Structure 1
Amino acid sequence: MSRRLVALGATLLLPLVALAPIPSAPAAPPAAPAAPAAPTSEQRQRPALMIKVLSNRADLVSEGDARVAVAPAKGVQLRAIRVSLGQRDVTRRFALRPNGRFEGIVTGLKIGRNVLTARAGGFSTSVTITNHPAGGPIFSGPQLGPYECQATARDAQCNEPASYSLLYQSSDPSKGGLQPYDREDPPSDVATTTTDTGVTVPFVVRREDGFQDRDRYTILTLVQLGKPWAPWAPQPQFNHKVLMTHGGNCGAAYAPGEPPLEDYSGTIPADTPGITQSYVTALGLGFSVISTALDNTGHNCNVAMQAESLMMAKERFVERYGLIRYTIGTGCSGGSIAQHTVANAYPGIYQGLITTCSYPDTLSAGAQFADYHLMRRYFEDPSGWAPGVVWSPTQMADVEGHISIVNSVVADEGLFKAALDPETPCPGTKEPVAGNRATRYDSETNPGGVRCSVLDIMQNAIGLRPRSVWTPQEKAAGRGFAGVPFANKGILFGLETLKAGRITAAQFLDLNEKFGGLDVDSQPIAGRTQGDDASIRRAYRTGLVNEAENLDDVAIINFGGPDPGIAHDYAHAFWTEERLMRDQGHTDNRVMWFGAAPLIGDPGWANEALTEMDRWLRAVERDRRTVPLARKIVQDKPADLTDRCSNVPGVGDVAGEEDEVDCALPESLQLRLSTPREMAGDDVFNDRLACRLMPLERSTFDFLLLPLTDAQWEQLQAVFPDGVCDYSVPGRGRVRTQTWLSYSDASGEVVHGGRNLPPLPAGSADGWSSASFREILRR
């Protein structure tokens, strides 16, 4: 989006002084207190003071500041309170604010542990605030490099001061998206909007752009020019709700990217006339919008780095703009992956998810696409087929689990090849041209270079390959590459198609004999992919495979439509549905919409889902019962917010008019297509990265009208000498997802697979959500 950057000069600061970074002018000092009376024994038995670090967990703070509240017990006078940071008195930073809290922004935190103490009379309490660099990392583990910062960076961590600009919504419908606003020459076509707090204001937006964690973030807020804004006294149009927007695909980068804003992963440009993006709708309702480049899976397919960037952005927001009631995520494809996996592995960052073009995670879909890749190598080379074996396109698609081979081609060409190839060009890496020193991996000329595979960007989570399996390239680099967290060993591809009589035994045997596998460089090998045991286990432990164990505490609206053959069929939404059902016995915290528009169901649903999710979360917010949050989300869901199908031929069509009805369509009409592994006999969860093996039994093929010949049986035994998949037991390495993991130890050294962070420090992150939602962070 084009925008005019406005320098932080007098022109901007005078009317927006409290919107700029934390004001340096402190509150007036409190009057000197009277000599306090000694506390009674009854007073000593109760906490006279509590310190709450509102803007984040006290142990995960960054950028040298934190928003802190001191809560005195009844009878403790505010003027008696003294606050110190180590030996430094910081009481002047605190005051009774318009929101009724005694709070302030504590600045000057050193990197590492800082002790903040509040005293009143004979009482005192302390909290340790652990501060981290603005450039990170915090819990994502040692940062990978080399990394190429933007030209304007002030240091090697890409830090630079935030910049600010103004945008507006035009009253002219031919102007799509938000337009640049010039304070010196204000436009005459500024629209007005009435927020959900009932405040009518010109539709003018303030945009903050800055850097955290070596990458860009963006914060958008509806603003009344010329009026003050302080974090404890925001302008009245702000409703204290946040929308987080996401991008698509899955990739790796070693340079800053752009925070995504538009719906549908960029398929509909943000400035398309006649299309109102949901982030614009949200701004008009009084929401603020946050986006980070690191939370765009196409730029960074690493769940820990995604969660870290969102946490840092929320901290900055609470410190500079205001407390948050709840946060809603929205996004298509990779945007659904980021929401699902962050919500499951780092619960508390979101309260509601709006997912479309849906996938549950990267790695289980990645295993499906790896199967496509290898099947294509076999199917598209008839010269390699055994004598007498001929495959029709229909049979190929059948074995793949689809109605057309187009899906596998697009998935492979558009997603899998680039994501898994370590030699793929990715931002921040260089080839050895024009005198540049090569930084990108090349298996022949630069084995020690930066690998652009998404598995390598995940290496802190999944770990490195053990020395015992190193390739010549790994030996030359002097290190193991990121482990391979999936396998196809033991899979009888096409078994269900064979059972149905749609392929012959000769086709089945030839496919499995020549299927092959992939090495650590994603290059084909004759044998099956073995996978690295430790990496497979860590993929589950770290939440890179989303098993939905922790999604019961978020409300979810998922919508989509038929897939025209671009690897986004609605079946992936059902993967999440099945996993939710397995884990919690119901899916009542999730709503499923299916429509006729390819992939997205209906162009208007992004905005409708936003308003419906807002209605749902408002109901939960009002529920102050002492019952689990998961129960509130189910019980407080509006009764008329249900599954639906619309614009589907023969369904919801009344008297020739469009209509929407509760949906109980056959799954075939919702295009719940299959996968190569389901067609091999695996289950509907599609979460088995690698299977456990059992002996190959000849009786498995008793269904054949013509039994396997002795030669065919020997051929099959040679293909599966160690046995075949046993789908009656959990897959290899499957363990429960651990939440809030850190990927470094106290000295900053990597901890592959992560270590559990300590419990949430008392009084931490209360600024992230209303009280009804905070239970999820306390667990």
Structure 2
Amino acid sequence: MRWFYYLLTLVLAILLGVLGYFQYLRWTHPYHQMQVNRLPPPVDVPVIDYRPHLALVTRPDDTYFFPIPLGEVGPSQPLYAGPRQYPFFCMTLLAGLGQPAVDNHQGYGVPVYEERGGRPGSRIVGYSRDCGLPSRLSYYFADIRGQVRRYDPGAPPPPEAVAQTRLGSDLVPEIYRVESGTINRYIYHIAMLATPQQARTEAPWWNRKLIYQFHGGSGIGFRQGRVKPIRLLSKRREQLRSGYAVITSSGNKTSYTYDMIRAEDTARRVKRQFTSLYGQPRYTIGIGGSGGGLAQYLMAQNRAGVFDGALALYAYPDMVTQTLYGLDCDLLNTYYAFRARRNHRWQDFDNRVSLEGMNARAGFDHKAAFLEPLNQLLHGRWPSWPEGSSECINGWFGLSALIHNPHQGYIRPMFSEPIQARGHWSYWEDLVEIYGRDARGYARSAWGNMGVQYGLRPLVSGQLTMGEFLHLNRHIGSWRRPHRMEAESIWLPLGNKLPLWLSLWGNHNITEGAPAERRQPDPIAVERAYRSGQVFVGSNPLPVIDLRHYLEPELDMHHLSASFEARARILAWEGHRDNQVIWVSHRDYTPIAEAFAAMEGWLEAKVRGEPRPAGLEDQCFDEQGKVIYRGEDAWDGEWNHREPGACSQRYPHFSNSRVQAGGPWLGSVFQCRLIPLEQAVARGQYGSLDVGPYLARLKAIFPGGVCDLTSADALRPADLNPALGF
């Protein structure tokens, strides 16, 4: 029946190909109408000199005099984050804020059309290179059902439809003033309780506390991004109605960039716009999930001065070290599907945990199960239908093409074909001003897997045979150098609704051979990643509540072990974890209110010069919000080589492919120190196994040696240690 369904799908796809073509055009129509066709001449503006580390560098005084006047466009050139990135796609119209301001007539950037009835017409009146949006005020209200809606001061809603909130002894209408504009070309918003009758600088209900809202997502730059006011107000409604002000920027949404210098430059200026209007807050609390969580870890470490305490939700320590195991996923998926000798062994998804470390489950719904047998047939291999899924698939599916392949990039329809052909579309390219370019003009990459013995831990524990271990490491290979990579082969017979990925797992960009070639990271890229503050080394100067739902059973990419990765780095750097607590809850309960209350108490104590309040500890919650356990040992477990604590028992954690290869839990080893096989045997890397009969085969697979499991990152700058004083 599966094959009948699969053949029927293909037939329907072919018959509907013409329809799919028109659907594809309709999907890309807004991008074609606004497509960037011409780029301005490059301007050489250096990034701030971040040596020896960004945290130790004084940021320059701002050259722009804030606040931005209403009706005017804010600064477009970053203060210290380097040149403006081009190509750059404007998204003010897609954000519901209208077209960007015309700033040239030479054809640079997106076209701006004549307005007709409040909508773009067909006649181009100019172009926007830098996506400027004149600063403006708009108003919103929460109705009695709790829905946030646009407020038109000229036609106010009935008084009974507006919700009210109590501030002290006063009942206040829940009407919000939102200031919007652009800073560093990204859209910013400032939101607080206010009515249209009050002047821009009046804030009678502000409680002198500020929230900086960060946002997550996976992005590779080249876009302005969007944060819609109604979504922002709805997300932070409880805090806004209690008197908080909230500020944010699309430049602090990792869907649009992971460049933490650019993000910091933008966040500092957005906060400066706020303080120039309303004065300094008593304190600022950062909040954001996933990429918005890791941004807080990094900005706190890098002494950005944007917030005083962080609510890091679903956080990773940083982006660049997550690529180490994240990009292993498709190497392993390619091995299972196309290279494994005993394919049925790995079609049992429960077995994959031993290699990947992250969770995998037989019987779990696979995101694109039909693609695997299709691709196996194309490779001349007997097809098999996946009988489960893994976090590698459910959570990280497609990210190798998005973040690592310079010839892919799903944002390409925003740019003309000549610009697409000239550009490189990857996470590394987004940060090229930091990582630099190689001799062939491609952005340097910090990823590598030289000397990594995939599956070493399950080999030693008996979950993997020596034959399986040797075959895996002989054939798994590595990602090709960027100049040798090719775009993914994806057919869109039904537009974007049914992509047929004909190079599944990016297998055509993975080295082949027996043994398949491994790759070292670029040492220049790694050094610059460390010094520019893209790597979380563990410096933890500000209070952080690391908060997440327990999502391992859902194979969600926001795995629990990321909290322990951050904890391990903090302990290694600080020698304690006084400024970090880890909270985990059942997915049916979200303790955000408790987190805000706890952070307020923590910051008030800090203002008084007191330590973290008693009782503010690691803890876990059940589905009703009841605290299961609270204490220093709550999260003890394999990550710190202790017996599982009460929370670890309730919410067990997994690991990742580099940990399963014998690496450390702190997860920041770009390139291990290589040692000869004989030395690895002498150190007991293979436990009680007799490796003698296999030594020659191991040397053929690892001619340069294997990872020294007792050493730190070989490429980490030697002077980068706590003695630097940050």
TM-score (norm. length: structure 2): 0.71
1:309-348 equivalent positions in 2, closer than 5 A: 309-348=266-305
Cα offset for 1:437? 4.1
Which of 559, 564, 570 is the equivalent residue of 1:569?
Answer: 559
Distance 2:711 2:336 in 1: 31
Contact 1:145 1:450 in 2 (8 A): no
Which residue matches 1:162?
135
CA RMSD of aligned residues (A): 3.1
Residue of structure 1 equivalent to 2:571: 581
| Structure 1 residue 423: Cα displacement | 2.9
Any idea what SS the aligned residue of 1:641 has? coil
**Per the alignment, in what secondary structure is the counterpart of residue 707 of structure 1?**
coil
Residue matched to 2:333: 376
Looking at structure 1, the residues matched to 324 and 174 of structure 2 have their Cα atoms a distance apart, in angstroms, of 46
Q: Who is 1:643 aligned against?
A: 618
Q: Are positions 1:285 and 2:242 aligned together?
A: yes
Q: Distance in 1 between matches of 2:190 and 2:687?
A: 62
For the pair shown, the structure with the greater C-alpha radius of gyration is 1
Cα offset for 1:242?
A: 1.5
What is the alpha-carbon distance in structure 1 between the residues aligned to residue 649 and residue 718 of structure 2? Answer: 32
Q: CA deviation at 1:410?
A: 2.3
Contact kept in structure 2, 1:459 and 1:482, CA below 8 Å = yes
Instruction: Report which stretch shifted further, 336-345 or 567-576.
Output: 336-345
Q: What is the aligned partner in structure 1 of residue 16 from structure 2?
A: none
2:60/2:80 contact within 8 Å kept: no
Answer whether contact 1:260 1:292 (CA < 8 A) is retained: no
Q: Counterpart of 1:380 in 2: which secondary structure?
A: helix
Query: Match for 1:707: what amino acid?
Result: D
Q: Which of 157, 160, 164 pairs up with 1:187?
A: 157
Pair 1:524 & 2:510 matched = yes
Q: Deviations over 1:616-641 (max 9, x none)?
A: 212322x1x5xxxxxx4xx1x33233
| Residue of structure 1 in register with 2:61 after alignment | 60
Q: Report if the CA contact (8 A) 2:401-2:409 is conserved.
A: no
Indicate the SS of the match to 1:439. helix
Question: Cα deviation per residue 1:335-357 (whole Å; 9 max; x = unaligned)?
Answer: 11211122222432121111122
Is this contact kept in 1: 2:677–2:695, CA < 8 A? no
- Of the three residues 730, 737, 740, the one matched with 2:712 is 730
1:245–1:261: 8 Å Cα contact kept in structure 2?
no
Unmatched runs of 5 consecutive residues or more in structure 1: 1-56, 68-104, 108-131, 263-268, 441-445, 468-473, 475-479, 626-631, 740-755, 757-775
Q: Which residue in 2 is equivalent to 1:721?
A: 703
What SS is found at the alignment partner of 2:251? Answer: helix
Q: State how 1:599-678 maps to structure 2 within 5 Å.
A: 602-603=589-590, 605-621=591-607, 623=608, 632=610, 635=611, 637-647=612-622, 658-662=626-630, 664=634, 665=646, 667=648, 669-678=650-659
Match of 2:178 among 201, 207, 225: 207
**Residues in 1 aligned to 2:153 and 2:66: alpha-carbon distance in whole angstroms:** 32
Give the conservation status (yes or no) of the 8 Å contact 1:430–1:439. Answer: no
Deviation at 1:426, TM superposition (A): 4.5
Q: CA deviation at 1:253?
A: 3.2
1:236 offset after TM fit, Å? 2.8
Note the alpha carbon deviations across 1:238-284, whole angstroms, 9 max, x for none: 1222111122222123232113679xxxxxx779xxxx63x111211
**Paired residues of 1:338 and 1:361 also in contact (CA < 8 A):** yes
SS at match of 1:518: coil
- Structure 1 segment 106-125 matched on structure 2, within 5 A: none
**Distance in 1 between residues matched to 2:137 and 2:69, nearest whole Å:** 23
Rounded to whole Å, the distance in 1 between the matches of 2:458 and 2:59 is: 56
Q: Is the 8 A contact 2:222 2:430 kept in 1?
A: no
- The alpha carbon displacement at 1:661 in A equals 3.6
- 2:708 partner letter: D
Partner of 2:101: 153
Distance 2:217 2:719 in 1: 23
What percent identity do the matched residue pairs reach? 24
1:699 & 1:555 partners in 2: Cα distance?
42
Separation (CA, whole Å) in 1 of partners of 2:430 and 2:697: 39
Matched residues in 2 for 1:152 and 1:394: separation?
A: 51
Sort the Cα spacing of 1:337 and 1:228 in 2 relative to 1 into closer, same or farther, 3 A: same
- Displacement of 1:386: 4.1
Cα distance, 1:576–1:134 mapped onto 2, change above 3 Å: same
The equivalent of 1:78 in structure 2 is: none
Q: CA deviation at 1:559?
A: 3.2
CA distance in 2 between counterparts of 1:368 and 1:720 reads 19
2:358 matched residue in structure 1: 402
Contact 1:571 1:672 in 2 (8 A): yes
- TM-score, normalised via structure 1 length: 0.66
- Structure 2 counterparts to residues 39-78 of structure 1, below 5 A: 59-63=60-64, 65-66=65-66
Distance 1:385 1:609 in 2: 47
Amino acid paired to 1:612: A
- The partner residue of 2:259 within 286, 294, 302 is 302
CA deviation after TM superposition for structure 1 residue 484, in Å: 1.1
Deviations 1:568-623 (A, max 9, x none): 111001111111112212212222111211xxx723x22331232123212322x1
516 and 159 in structure 1: CA distance in 2 versus 1, 3 angstrom threshold: same
User: Which one of 137, 142, 156 corresponds to residue 78 of structure 2?
Assistant: 137
1:559 is the counterpart of 2:548 = yes
Q: Is the 8 A contact 1:645 1:661 kept in 2?
A: yes
The one-letter code of the counterpart of 1:181 is Y
Instruction: State the SS of the aligned residue for 2:393.
Output: helix
The answer to whether the 8 A contact 2:74-2:132 is kept is no
Shift in Å, 1:659 = 5.0
Q: Distance in 2 between the 1:507 and 1:353 partners?
A: 45
Deviation at 1:566, TM superposition (A): 1.9
More moved, 338-347 vs 197-206: 197-206
**What secondary structure sits across from 1:498 in the alignment?**
helix
Q: Secondary structure at the match of 1:378?
A: helix
Question: Any idea what the Cα deviations from partners look like across 1:385-436, whole Å, max 9, x if unmatched?
Answer: 34899444333221111341511112331534322222333447646xxxx4
Residues 260 and 360 from structure 1, CA distance in 2 versus in 1: closer, same or farther, beyond 3 angstroms? Answer: farther
User: Which segment drifts farther, 570-579 or 156-165?
Assistant: 156-165
- Go from structure 1 to structure 2 and tell me whether the alpha carbon gap of 1:610 and 1:304 turns closer, same or farther (over 3 Å shift): same
Choose from 395, 415, 437 the match for 1:411.
Answer: 395
Aligned to 1:22: none
- Residue 707 (str. 1) matches residue 690 (str. 2): yes
8 A contact 1:647–1:659 mirrored in 2: yes
Instruction: Tell whether the 8 Å contact from 1:456 to 1:481 is kept in structure 2 after alignment.
Output: yes
Native 8 Å contact 1:147 1:428 kept in 2:
no
Give structure 2 stretches of 5+ with no counterpart: 1-57, 92-98, 104-128, 361-388, 486-508, 635-645
- Is 2:201 the counterpart of 1:219? no
SS state at 1:552 partner: coil
Residues 74 and 134, structure 2, Cα contact 8 Å, conserved in 1: no
User: Structure 1 CA distance, aligned partners of 2:62 and 2:330?
Assistant: 43
Distance 1:249 1:402, change over 3 A: same
8 A Cα contact 1:642 1:662, kept in partner: yes
Query: Structure 1 residues 693, 702: closer, same or farther in 2, change over 3 A?
Result: closer
**Cα separation, 2, equivalents of 1:583 and 1:198:** 47
Task: Report the 3-state secondary structure (helix = DSSP H, G, I; strand = E; otherwise coil) of the residue aligned with 1:507.
Answer: helix
2-structure distance, mates of 1:290, 1:193 = 20
| 8 Å contact from structure 2 (residues 407, 425) kept in 1 | yes
Counterpart-to-counterpart distance in 2, 1:58 and 1:573: 30
Write the deviation string for residues 713-747 of structure 1: whole angstroms up to 9, x where unpaired: 222101111111113222122138989xxxxxxxx
Per-residue CA deviation, residues 634-680 of structure 1 (Å, 9 max, x unaligned), is x1x332332222217xxxx9xxx955541522535423211111111
Question: Does residue 385 in structure 1 map to residue 366 in structure 2?
Answer: no
Match of 2:672, SS?
A: coil
Structure 1 stretch 674-683 or stretch 559-568: which is displaced more? Answer: 559-568
**What are the Cα deviations for residues 211-233 of structure 1, in whole angstroms up to 9, with x where unaligned?**
11122111112114423453xxx
Query: In the aligned structure 2, how far is the partner of 1:187 from the partner of 1:570?
Result: 45
For residues 560 and 591 of structure 1, the distance between their equivalents in structure 2, rounded to whole angstroms, comes to: 15
